[in-house]
Structure 1
Amino acid sequence: MNKEVILRGISKAEDKLLVARILDKYTLSQKIMSYTHSDFLDPYQQNVVRKCLEMSGIRDHVFYGGFSGAERTVVVFCPYYMPENIESEFSGFFEILKIKPNTRENFSHRDYLGSLMGLGIKREKIGDILVREDFAFVVVLKDIADYIRINLTKVGNARVEIDIVNPDELDILEPKVKEISSTVASLRLDSVASAGFGISRSKTADLIRGEKVAVNWETATNPARLVKEGDTISIRGKGRVVVEKVGNTTKKDRIHILLKKFI
């Protein structure tokens, strides 16, 4: 692995720093011949890291976030072998906290995250936050779990109780999605996003130019950018849609698309 060559191929400074840290974790795993892992990565960061690892031929790794299907994950380097049961092998890297306010007020993801970061905890130490009706499950790296249990006393103005739970106690809810079947003149980002979010194409183009739209969690600024099957399009404050299928062309030269909108 030539670290300098890999980093030269990355344009964004923040991505370069991220990949440098990840490659250091890989080098350490090879040196000590033991598992090493990164902090939590959001989906965009995962894409950046995954591409660099693939181009570098580094295959002894896995992305895992404390439970199957987690959105935020760490990357774990496995110098010996890839374990068959990832969940049992790597569960020791995480703790799952159940944070229960002593009020009937329904707190949001932002409320829980804000209270945690108010303790001085960096975002990359916190994984998925699964909000339920009167509590939340929060996945954190093991080294900060006790600090949170001792120091997090409130969410908003409500006092909280915190317990550590086993991964099998998580009730993973299926995301609610709405299927949208439509036709578009082209696979331009502004056209597909307009169909998915039910807003005009001109308004969508303004949002794109205003840097409020992302494709696969990377900010997109060109309304004419083409999207493809499997891409995730998100608009700040409006959620996200996935291009589930690109179909045939109609007699009027419009393209059938099937989108899945998370609601």
Structure 2
Amino acid sequence: MNIYQHFRPEERDYIDQVLNWKDYVETNYSPKLTDFLDPREQHILKMLIGEHGDVNYKLFGGTLDVERKRALIFPDYLPVTEEEFQISLFEIQYPAKFVTIEHRQVLGTLMSLGLKRGKFGDILTKDGKCQFFAAKEISDYIKSNVETIGRAGVKLIETDIENAIPTKELLVESDLTVSSLRLDTVISGIYHVSRQKSQLFIQQGLVKVNWTLTENPSFECGVGDMLSVRGYGRAKVLAIEGKTKKEKWRINVGKQK
């Protein structure tokens, strides 16, 4: 059976990587810790590793409700603790009375360090407080190289994971019937706009899928995909429940409240 036919063509390299991780664990009887994975990557890993083999996996991103998580792939007899995920939590200290720091500024600063996105987990903000998760192996490098974010001078303080800002995001679930799983069609259904308008959003660079700008209206949406349209908020494809008698797709989505 061709395993690639169940996934997108552009996901082939990642599929090969997951299969190599699994093979490594089977061959060496040793665990493998990944970088932070987005929800789509987590979904693919779950599909490929499975639930009942000799190789198992766990996902953890710092707290239970975060989106980006590291995966630990391990022989099924091995006990696993949260400490083995090697995650640091940083709090950003800055003069909040005089400046504000936004999510995109934090991400931009971190990405300017020359590190992969996979080395960073969720960025948490609430009431002027700002934190982010990172892979522990780069902790010292981050502390040595981040002194400003936006126009603000900052100091990074590594703190216990228990001090993380609560991240429970309220998603209002709804069931939709759409003519196809194309991105423009799904956006049209979720946000109650015409398909022409959703295509315009995509052409104007207002649409992201899994945090990546997407300009292909025929992109096929899948389970776990996080969609965002600037000015309209985020939504997640929670389930694809098959087709109706009229050959339309039934999907379940969660929309940011």
TM-score (normalised: structure 2) = 0.73
1:152-188 superposed Cα distances (whole Å, 9 cap, x missing partner): 111112111211111211121332445679x86x555
Quick one: structure 1 residues 166 and 175, their matched pair in 2 at CA, closer, same or farther if it must change by over 3 Å? same
Question: What corresponds to 1:99 in structure 2?
Answer: 92
Match of 2:127 among 129, 133, 144: 133
Quick check: 39-48 or 194-203, which moved more?
194-203
Tell me the SS of whatever aligns to 1:102.
Answer: coil
Q: Are residue 236 (structure 1) and residue 236 (structure 2) matched?
A: no
Tell me the SS of whatever aligns to 2:59.
Answer: strand
Alpha carbons 1:100, 1:161 under 8 Å: kept: yes
1:78-134 superposed Cα distances (whole Å, 9 cap, x missing partner): 214364xx663534x111111222343221111011111222121111111112333
> Which is bigger in relative contact order (C-alpha 8 A, separation at least 6)?
2
Question: What corresponds to 1:171 in structure 2?
Answer: 165
Tell me the SS of whatever aligns to 1:173.
Answer: coil
Alpha carbons 2:210, 2:225 under 8 Å: kept: yes
Superposed, 1:62-141 pairs within 5 Å as 62-81=58-77, 83=79, 88-91=82-85, 93-104=86-97, 105-141=99-135
Tell me the SS of whatever aligns to 1:60.
Answer: strand
Question: What corresponds to 2:138 in structure 1?
Answer: 144
How far the C-alpha of 1:259 sits from its partner, in A, is 5.8
Match of 1:26 among 19, 22, 34: 22
Q: Are residue 47 (structure 1) and residue 46 (structure 2) matched?
A: no
Q: Are residue 202 (structure 1) and residue 196 (structure 2) matched?
A: yes
Alignment root-mean-square deviation, CA: 4.1
Letter in 2 for 1:95: S
Quick check: 150-159 or 18-27, which moved more?
18-27
Quick check: 34-43 or 50-59, which moved more?
50-59
Alpha carbons 1:177, 1:261 under 8 Å: kept: yes
Quick check: 49-58 or 148-157, which moved more?
49-58
Alpha carbons 2:26, 2:55 under 8 Å: kept: no
Q: Which has the higher strand share?
A: 2
In structure 1, the gaps of 5 or more residues are: 247-254
How far the C-alpha of 1:214 sits from its partner, in A, is 6.9
Quick one: structure 1 residues 192 and 126, their matched pair in 2 at CA, closer, same or farther if it must change by over 3 Å? closer
CA distance in 2 between partners of 1:37 and 1:143 (Å): 12
Quick one: structure 1 residues 42 and 257, their matched pair in 2 at CA, closer, same or farther if it must change by over 3 Å? closer
Tell me the SS of whatever aligns to 2:141.
Answer: helix
Alpha carbons 2:234, 2:256 under 8 Å: kept: yes
Letter in 1 for 2:82: S
Tell me the SS of whatever aligns to 1:39.
Answer: strand
Quick check: 172-181 or 155-164, which moved more?
172-181
Alpha carbons 1:101, 1:134 under 8 Å: kept: no
Percent of aligned pairs with the same amino acid = 26
